[in-house]
Amino acid sequence: MRAGRAWLGQPDVTGLSDLAGVVIQPLGQIEDHRGAVLHMLRSDSPLFERFGEIYFSLVLPGVVKAWKRHQRLTQHFAVPVGQIRLVLYDDRSGCPSQGRLEKHILGRPDHYLLVRIPPLLWYGFQGLGATPSLVANCTDFPHDPQESESLPSDATHIPYRWKE
Amino acid sequence: MRAGRAWLGQPDVTGLSDLAGVVIQPLGQIEDHRGAVLHMLRSDSPLFERFGEIYFSLVLPGVVKAWKRHQRLTQHFAVPVGQIRLVLYDDRSGCPSQGRLEKHILGRPDHYLLVRIPPLLWYGFQGLGATPSLVANCTDFPHDPQESESLPSDATHIPYRWKE
């Protein structure tokens, strides 16, 4: 695929991320007395390239799901229920943000954001708060277990220690 | 669009719906001690035609969101959090299931289903249980307020009375 230039793409105009290829966007939340309509991704968004799959990861309070990276998949995360801490680590050789690590809180109402995670970036997340959190993930290819790599959550390669 | 033949498409092989163009499929739930991975829709599914938008409707307990129908939009509903009662009513002229009404419970763990709702079918839903429910909706065109119609939840045109 385009692994050699995986960090190219839309620049992050919100200033919320300095990682090449990562884009973070506030999402619409239309609340009323009945509940809310929560935006995620539309085909006419500049961020949209191709639909592969939409699925959810339910994460129990305190649980860490880390570390993982994809060879070719671009992911879009949003957290419509609960809150997570998302940690991103860039070890992409030759990439302008190589060596950089970022932590982001995702979840309503103050951090209802779309996060674009490009291929080859390490990511992990932890459920925060006292109730389960739901991570929605819209990807550009359907899930393929052959194209992802994992590291244990305490891998020394990544300069972040999860507090479980 | 293809409004005149809107009920054509994949037949419902599960036998869960008799409404033309409605397809109901059990969805994968991969649970472990950390939470769950919850499937919804992939580009290589026979149900997938075109990606328009993915968004969420959060519905508070007991609240009714009804009635609505779309002129050209095909929707796919899944309920990864909480439970709803979904009611569908077919008044499509000349359609084999014209006049038929169906009620479905959607939500985990026993009713984690994907429901395809074709254009021109009336639909409404109510949040069940004591906590908010999340309806994920993956559509084939982005939201366009011009192409949908609404009726009040107590409209006599539709032979169903919501208990609020």
Answer whether B69's CB lies under 8 Å from B148's CB: yes
Nearest C-alpha in A relative to B139: A42
Tell me the C-alpha distance between B54 and B76, whole Å: 9
Q: Which residues of B are less than 8 Å from A127 in CB distance?
A: 35
- Residue B111 CA to residue B131 CA, distance in Å, equals 17
* Chain B CA closest to residue A82: B81
Q: How far is B97 from chain A (nearest CA, A)?
A: 30
Torsion angle of C-alpha atoms A117, A121, A127, A129, degrees rounded to 10: -70
Nearest C-alpha neighbor of B118 from the set B49, B48, B20 = B20
User: ω before A118 within 30° of 0 (cis)?
Assistant: no
Residue partners of B93: CB distance under 8 A and separation at least 6 = none
Q: A94-142 pLDDT, tens per residue?
A: 999 999 999 999 999 999 999 999 999 999 999 999 999 999 999 999 9
Tell me chain B's radius of gyration from C-alpha atoms. 15
Per residue in A131-148, pLDDT (tens digit) is 999 999 999 999 999 999
Q: How far is A63 from chain B (nearest CA, A)?
A: 6
Structure tokens given for A126: 């932890």
Query: Which of B39, B50, B58 best probes binding to A when mutated, by most A CB atoms within 10 angstroms?
Result: B58
| B54 token code pair | 């993915």
Q: Which of B38, B44, B58 sits opposite A38 (nearest CB)?
A: B58
Question: What is the pLDDT, as a whole number, of residue A56?
Answer: 98
Q: Which of A118, A122, A126 is nearest to A151 (CA)?
A: A122
Model ipTM?
0.94
Furthest CA-CA distance within chain A: 50
Handedness of CA A42, A45, A50, A53 (dihedral sign): negative
Best mutation target, B39, B43, B63, B140, to test chain A (most A CBs within 10 A): B43
Task: Give residue-wise pLDDT tens across range B41-76.
Answer: 999 999 999 999 999 999 999 999 999 999 999 999
Residue of B nearest to A78 (CA): B55
* Closest chain A CA to residue B60: A35
- B40 near B27, Cβ under 8 Å? yes
Q: Is the pTM of this model over 0.90?
A: yes
Name the residue facing A38 among B33, B44, B56 (closest C-beta). B56
Min Cα distance A18 → chain B (Å) is: 26
pLDDT of residue B8: 60
Tens of pLDDT, residue by residue over A46-89, are: 999 999 999 999 999 999 999 999 999 999 999 999 999 999 99
Hey, is A147 helix, strand or coil? helix
Q: If pLDDT is split at 50, 70 and 90, which confidence band does B1 have? A: very low
Please report the number of interchain residue pairs, chain A to chain B, with beta-carbon separation below 8 angstroms.
108
User: Smallest CA–CA separation between A157 and chain B, in Å?
Assistant: 23
> d(Cα A106, Cα A134) in Å, to the nearest integer?
10
